[in-house]
Amino acid sequence: MPRSRTMNTSPVPVWGLGFLLSQVGAHAAARFAERLVPLNLTPPHVGVLGVIKHADGLSQQALGEMLCIFPSRLVGLLDELEERGLVERRDSPTDRRAHALYLTQAGRDALEKIGLIARELQDALCAALNKSEREQLAAFLTRIAAQQGLTSGVHPGYRKLGGAEPK
């Protein structure tokens, strides 16, 4: 009886594709967080920056809904980003209760660096795959994400509660 080509040398059972997705995904997330440390940022910070970049002037309320982050949590994240000079809270022109969020130049620069980090990480993670395999993998994951109702750019790890989607 022939052994399978990918022999299991581990002391523990294999839980299938679900486990594999989760395992590799957690690894990717950990490596990303690691590479953000020199920038003094965390993945949720990056999520916030990314949304503001593409929706300049939005309110904290709107931002929280997009990322499924509680308003109270956003306060801290934005405080940190503002301290570091990456984000500005301006007064909303239409509602004196609300803030309008903007990236500073430093914020845009940081996003550039983050994009570079993400590309380097992608290369490192996919070292085992050639170009066409990477494209296939991306296509598979994109289809899964779409079918599962995941929103592009919204990480379940930002979420409040069980990973609900933004409205």
3-state secondary structure 86-109: CEEEEECCCCCCCEEEEECHHHHH
Q: Is 78 exposed, middle or buried (0-12, 13-18, 19+ CB in 10 A)?
A: buried
The answer to whether residue 157 forms part of the interface with DNA (CB under 7 A) is: yes
Nearer to DNA, 52 or 110 (CB): 52
Query: Considering only CA atoms, which of 153, 53, 34 is closest in space to residue 107?
Result: 53
Stretch that binds DNA, among 11-19, 76-84, 113-121, 138-146 (CB under 7 A): 76-84
The answer to whether residue 143 forms part of the interface with DNA (CB under 7 A) is: no
Q: Where does residue 40 fall: left (phi above 0), alpha (psi -120 to 50 degrees), or beta otherwise?
A: left
User: CB under 5 to 8 A by kind: which of a copy of itself, DNA, none does 107 bind?
Assistant: none
The answer to whether residue 41 forms part of the interface with DNA (CB under 7 A) is: no
Nearer to DNA, 79 or 112 (CB): 79
Residues that bind DNA (CB under 7 A): 42, 44, 59-62, 64, 69-76, 78-79, 89, 92, 95-99, 157, 159-161
